[in-house]
Structure 1
Amino acid sequence: MKLTRLVTVIFKNSPCFSHQNGLMGVSSYSSKTTTSSTTTTRIRKPWTWSGSMHDLYRRISPVGDPTASIVPILNQWVAEGRNVHRDQMYVFIREFRYYKRYTHALQLSMWMTDKMYFKLTSRDICLRLDLIAKVHGIEQSESYFNNIPLQLRCLEVYSALFNCYARVKSVEKAEAVLQKMRDLGLARTTLTFNVLLNLYYETGNYEKVDNVMQEMEAKGISFDKYTYTIRFNAYSSASDIEGMDKILASMECDPNVVLDWTAYASVANGYAKAGLTEKALAMLKKSEGLITTSKKRSVAYNFLLTQYAAIGKKDEVLRLWEDYQKKVKVLNQGYISLIPSLLKFDDIEKVEKIFEEWESRNLAYDIRIPNLFIGACCRKGLLAKAEALVNRVMSNGGKPDAFTWYYLATGYLQSNQTPKAVEMLKEAITACKPRWKPNRELIITCLDYLKREGDLEGAGKLIRLLRAKDIVSSDVQERLLNYMKNENSNLDALSVSFDDAVVENE
């Protein structure tokens, strides 16, 4: 797992990254009293409810198209004389944000004040700042903030705008907001400074990291595990081993800091990046020793499997897997972490046994798991085995997706079976979801093959399919069709026709 992903893992439980603190116009503010009751009890997941709000969730949750508004459904609900509960609506918003359905989350937030006349709160504003930035861009979020009444611009609201700027790595604007918070006496929380530290880390401003920590010390703002971990990662990125050792010692000696598995996993990642394998291994052992204190032990096991593999410790991967199976119910994500870890050691036989074990457990069928095995077989030229796996998927009720066919296409191309590669590429494009894009060279090779074979009709169909799936623009489509018709054009001309229009999948 990449270091930036680990930073997200260690920050995930921080309020500045929580669902409630993330987040069209302020004109929706109303001082009218709500007609709906609220509750102070702990809200459960929507699908665990019974009664009317569960029914409402079942109406709006299937609307997966972000261009389709859920507002008519909400209006119809009210027209039927049904109640709306504010706290439960927040849960809906939280769920939509979790699944990256930001447009619908924003529509819910706006509808609550525009149609139901819920009083606008700082929580609503924070949510909207975040959601507007994700749906319409940071400029629109900034414009929204500028229209917020001064009496509503509290710490949480400034923090939400600050987080928006930090997320898009707008250093100068984030610094300006923080300075305003300083001037108002609001910038005194560890979380706020951790966000700034992380911004400087992610943008390579390592020299500013120490200045922030010095300011925190001067103001009596305590460090926490996130503060230390970000500083450690900055030292790691600068290959400052002495600094890494120093910050680790400070972190372990600070009586106010309770370390968990994520902190040591991040430290291990830093040492591994610096080539200090044995130190990385020692930190992974410490991290592993703290798994029992984690509420999400499976997440810890999944991550540490990949980390032991990253430093080349196959025996540790297998040992941890055995421990994992004994102590936690292993679900699909466990296999998704284990199989790539074993593939780092080219252990196809072990992967096959793990795959068969997964099949025997009858978990929810996740096509990503056989795809991992199919992709490995294709890369190694084991096409007969890959084909057998695809047949096995379908016989077991699974449905191949774009990646299944894509892996076969690349495997066939690698083994000089271009006609089969062309057919598999067509299958992959047909099955693909929005924003999926195949390898650029694969497309070029297949189109060049079709032209050399004189199959202009087949090439035209493939090009039109690329356009229909928004993989290439209409302009690129025309250039490709012209290439096919021009007898004198060559492979270089075909490559130029793309002009970086296709982005390879990882």
Structure 2
Amino acid sequence: MLALRRASNPLRYHIPYSAVARASCAKSDMLWSNLKHEHWGYEINGNTVEFSVLPKTFSHGTSFSTVPSLGIRNFSLQAGAKASDNEVDDGFSDLDSPPETNTTGTLVDKEDDDRFISEQEISRDEPELYSAEVADSSLGLSDSKTQSNGEKDPRRKSLTSPLFKVVMEAPRHSITAALNKWVEEGNSLGRDEISMTLWHLRKRRFYQKALQFMEWLEANKRLNFVERDYGSHLDLVAKVHGLQKAEKYINMIPESFRGEIIYRTFLANSVSTGNVKKSEEVFNKIKDHGLPITTFSCNQLLLLYKRVDRQKIADVLMMMEKENIKPSHFTYRLLIDTKGRTNDITGMEQIVERMKAGGMEPDLATQAMIANHYIFGGLNDKAEATLKEMEGDDIKGNRNACKALLPLYAALGKAEDVGRIWKVCEADPRLDECLAAIEAWGKVGLVEDAEKVFENMLKTWKKLSSKCYNALLKVYANHKLLSKGKDLAKRMPDNGCRIGPLTWDALVKLYVEAGEVAKADSILQKAAQLNQIRPLYSSYMAILNKYAKRGDIHNAEKIFHKLKQTGYTTRMTQYRLLLEAYINAKSPAYGFRERMKADNMLPNKQVAAQLAAVDAFKKTNISELLD
């Protein structure tokens, strides 16, 4: 990384997809010239080289300041990246997964808005469909085979655990009894068996059962706990009971085992809930205890600030440079995606060059991300060049690229190329390629081809996961084929499919696109009440968006309140859509500024203009008399 220098030209700002407020940035422009990190191209806060990331003092004596707790929930966490040359993977559930991406390789933030709204919050239900490994390496399950292309060996997924079946089949209230019986019958309870059981539980997101299993192991001293085991237990406590109880559990861990793994696990869970204050506090605790500040921990801050305060990204990068913390592949992906989302294509390309100069070549997922940002920015020639680079000289010999290429060629409107790539896969298709093909054929308007892929999947695999049905449901929704969508949804229970938030999301969008927003609203509310599971953020937002366009203030307010009630942190997009409802209804929004202030939300330019518009609807004394 190079030293800072004062930028010779003012920074060029682009409107980000999530409409992040730039008021403070504009103010600083008037006070002094912006500083820019030469190496990364990110603005440094203020007019000194002091950081402003954290509330306390770092080891070099640099001061930090806090930021408002604006957070969001459920980020896609990255933890698979190496924190340093000698740092091993965390291995705690989501923390061991690669960062979630959409089918075009772009990093997906949970609850993201606009074109990046996540549809993958509940995404690891069926093991046969998901390639993301979530091995609990803290319990010795860190020997996942890796192929020469860097991907996990699919054979890893075929391993089963008899103990896992026992835990799964036991009701929650009798898991302890089932485990005691297992031991009494003389069955094996070695570390390998424990690891496999936890791996399967985490993969399916049965966190509560996994926690019960860990509690039983610890209480009955069935495992000689080391720091990684305590870290795994901590991660489950945070997921099931929240940060407060997780913090209490940390105090119960023997002091000799409260190392860097414990605190970075807690940090990642704090970031996942969007709790800025707690995340910064935990980061400082790592420093206060004299523990190493790793790339992993810095990446967590980057992930957090990418969503809540992008200006602070440069501060983290400066800290990494000052402490000689090397960026990982995921660090670069975060920065590339951040630049791409703000349509700063030049900045994105500069990050790619820095990545290559640092000895890291973009992998397929990163290339797909870059191509996706080119497409959204209207740079189709550059996108095509990137796709050709992904293909290589022989696409048949580079089949791993097909899954990403299918939807990207579709996004460019190139049906012929979609067909050409699909031919490579069609004779012996993989599930993920089929899902990508369904999406791609839908994008280019060839619904019958998407249906053909789906029917062939049924013949090949007999029983399909709900994710396969959801893929086709989304195609029907995008083409307003309500009748076909309803028929497909009715087939799901008959085929033993799990109907969960992803299916609800697809059905909601199916009805919303067909203009039946009230029915979509009803489906969502009934599903949530009957199943006691929180629907996806994007499901609520699809309905809120439609109510806003209709000027339906009552129902828009209802959805806005429901988002809060179900635990989703208030976002600027929600306020923007709610204001849109008032504007379209030509009705004043009394006390709106106060509502935003109560949620620690500062209006950005777009919302400020909306607030001015609803102010114009307020009646004056004379208008009330005349009325």
Residues 292-371 of structure 1: matches in 2 within 5 Å? Answer: 301-325=402-426, 329-366=428-465, 368-369=467-468
Worse overlay, 365-374 or 127-136: 365-374
Task: Classify 1:309/1:192 alpha carbon distance in 2 versus 1 (closer, same or farther; 3 Å).
Answer: same
Residues 211-360 of structure 1: matches in 2 within 5 Å? Answer: 211-255=315-359, 257-289=360-392, 301-325=402-426, 329-360=428-459
Matched-pair contact (CA < 8 Å) for 2:211–2:237? yes
Deviation at 1:322, TM superposition (A): 2.0
Query: Which residue matches 1:124?
Result: 229
Matched-pair contact (CA < 8 Å) for 1:169–1:199? yes
Q: TM-score, with normalisation over the residues of structure 1?
A: 0.66
1:252 partner letter: K
Matched-pair contact (CA < 8 Å) for 2:482–2:514? no
- Picking from 403, 423, 435, the partner of 2:533 is 435
Residues 317-466 of structure 1: matches in 2 within 5 Å? Answer: 317-325=418-426, 329-366=428-465, 368-369=467-468, 372-373=471-472, 376=475, 398=495, 434-435=532-533
- Picking from 19, 25, 34, the partner of 2:92 is 19
Superimposed CA distance per residue, residues 330-365 of structure 1 (whole angstroms, 9 cap, x where no aligned partner): 233332222122212222232243344434435434
Q: TM-score, with normalisation over the residues of structure 2?
A: 0.55
Deviation at 1:198, TM superposition (A): 1.6
Task: Classify 1:250/1:135 alpha carbon distance in 2 versus 1 (closer, same or farther; 3 Å).
Answer: same
Q: Provide the C-alpha distance between the structure 1 equivalents of 2:373 and 2:480, rounded to a whole number of angstroms.
A: 35
Deviation at 1:74, TM superposition (A): 0.5
Query: Which residue matches 2:278?
Result: 173
Q: Provide the C-alpha distance between the structure 1 equivalents of 2:204 and 2:411, rounded to a whole number of angstroms.
A: 29
Q: Does 1:160 align with 2:259?
A: no
Query: Which residue matches 1:61?
Result: 168
Task: Classify 1:18/1:266 alpha carbon distance in 2 versus 1 (closer, same or farther; 3 Å).
Answer: farther
Matched-pair contact (CA < 8 Å) for 1:165–1:174? yes
Q: Does 1:196 align with 2:310?
A: no
Task: Classify 1:294/1:258 alpha carbon distance in 2 versus 1 (closer, same or farther; 3 Å).
Answer: farther
Q: Does 1:87 align with 2:192?
A: yes
Structure with bigger gyration radius:
1
Query: Which residue matches 1:455?
Result: none
Superimposed CA distance per residue, residues 421-468 of structure 1 (whole angstroms, 9 cap, x where no aligned partner): 99x979x9699855387989xx9xxxxxxxxxxxxxxxxxxxxxxxxx
* Structure 1: gaps (5+ residues): 24-37, 444-490
Q: Provide the C-alpha distance between the structure 1 equivalents of 2:272 and 2:364, rounded to a whole number of angstroms.
A: 25
Task: Classify 1:152/1:413 alpha carbon distance in 2 versus 1 (closer, same or farther; 3 Å).
Answer: closer
2:495 partner letter: G
Superimposed CA distance per residue, residues 273-324 of structure 1 (whole angstroms, 9 cap, x where no aligned partner): 43433333333333444999999x65x5334423333343333322222233
**Cα RMSD (Å):** 4.9
Superimposed CA distance per residue, residues 72-124 of structure 1 (whole angstroms, 9 cap, x where no aligned partner): 11011223343411232122112211110001111111211211353331011
Q: Provide the C-alpha distance between the structure 2 equivalents of 1:77 and 1:336, rounded to a whole number of angstroms.
A: 40
Q: Provide the C-alpha distance between the structure 2 equivalents of 1:137 and 1:436, rounded to a whole number of angstroms.
A: 16
Task: Classify 1:323/1:252 alpha carbon distance in 2 versus 1 (closer, same or farther; 3 Å).
Answer: farther
Q: Provide the C-alpha distance between the structure 1 equivalents of 2:272 and 2:336, rounded to a whole number of angstroms.
A: 20
Task: Classify 1:194/1:400 alpha carbon distance in 2 versus 1 (closer, same or farther; 3 Å).
Answer: closer
Task: Classify 1:126/1:21 alpha carbon distance in 2 versus 1 (closer, same or farther; 3 Å).
Answer: farther
Superimposed CA distance per residue, residues 445-494 of structure 1 (whole angstroms, 9 cap, x where no aligned partner): xxxxxxxxxxxxxxxxxxxxxxxxxxxxxxxxxxxxxxxxxxxxxx9999
1:226 partner letter: F
Query: Which residue matches 1:476?
Result: none
Identical columns (%): 25
1:285 partner letter: K
SS of the residue 1:361 aligns to: helix
Q: Provide the C-alpha distance between the structure 2 equivalents of 1:191 and 1:185, rounded to a whole number of angstroms.
A: 16
Query: Which residue matches 1:102?
Result: 207
Matched-pair contact (CA < 8 Å) for 1:233–1:266? yes
Matched-pair contact (CA < 8 Å) for 2:76–2:272? no
Matched-pair contact (CA < 8 Å) for 1:198–1:230? yes
Matched-pair contact (CA < 8 Å) for 1:46–1:57? no
SS of the residue 1:70 aligns to: helix
1:351 partner letter: A
Q: Provide the C-alpha distance between the structure 2 equivalents of 1:409 and 1:21, rounded to a whole number of angstroms.
A: 27
Residues 489-500 of structure 1: matches in 2 within 5 Å? Answer: none
1:262 partner letter: A
Q: Provide the C-alpha distance between the structure 2 equivalents of 1:358 and 1:168, rounded to a whole number of angstroms.
A: 37
Higher relative contact order (CA 8 A, sep 6+): 2
2:240 partner letter: V
SS of the residue 1:195 aligns to: helix
Task: Classify 1:92/1:383 alpha carbon distance in 2 versus 1 (closer, same or farther; 3 Å).
Answer: closer
Matched-pair contact (CA < 8 Å) for 1:374–1:407? yes
Query: Which residue matches 2:151?
Result: none
Residues 127-142 of structure 1: matches in 2 within 5 Å? Answer: 127-142=232-247
Matched-pair contact (CA < 8 Å) for 1:271–1:277? yes
Deviation at 1:407, TM superposition (A): 5.7
Task: Classify 1:150/1:248 alpha carbon distance in 2 versus 1 (closer, same or farther; 3 Å).
Answer: same
Structure with the bigger percentage of helix: 1
Deviation at 1:200, TM superposition (A): 1.4
1:340 partner letter: E
Matched-pair contact (CA < 8 Å) for 1:138–1:164? yes
Matched-pair contact (CA < 8 Å) for 2:365–2:404? no
SS of the residue 1:61 aligns to: helix
Superimposed CA distance per residue, residues 174-222 of structure 1 (whole angstroms, 9 cap, x where no aligned partner): 222222323444334222222221221132x222212222222222222
- Picking from 75, 80, 105, the partner of 2:180 is 75
Q: Provide the C-alpha distance between the structure 1 equivalents of 2:184 and 2:535, rounded to a whole number of angstroms.
A: 43
Query: Which residue matches 2:121?
Result: none
Q: Provide the C-alpha distance between the structure 2 equivalents of 1:248 and 1:206, rounded to a whole number of angstroms.
A: 19
Q: Provide the C-alpha distance between the structure 1 equivalents of 2:555 and 2:342, rounded to a whole number of angstroms.
A: 42
Query: Which residue matches 2:50?
Result: none
SS of the residue 2:169 aligns to: coil
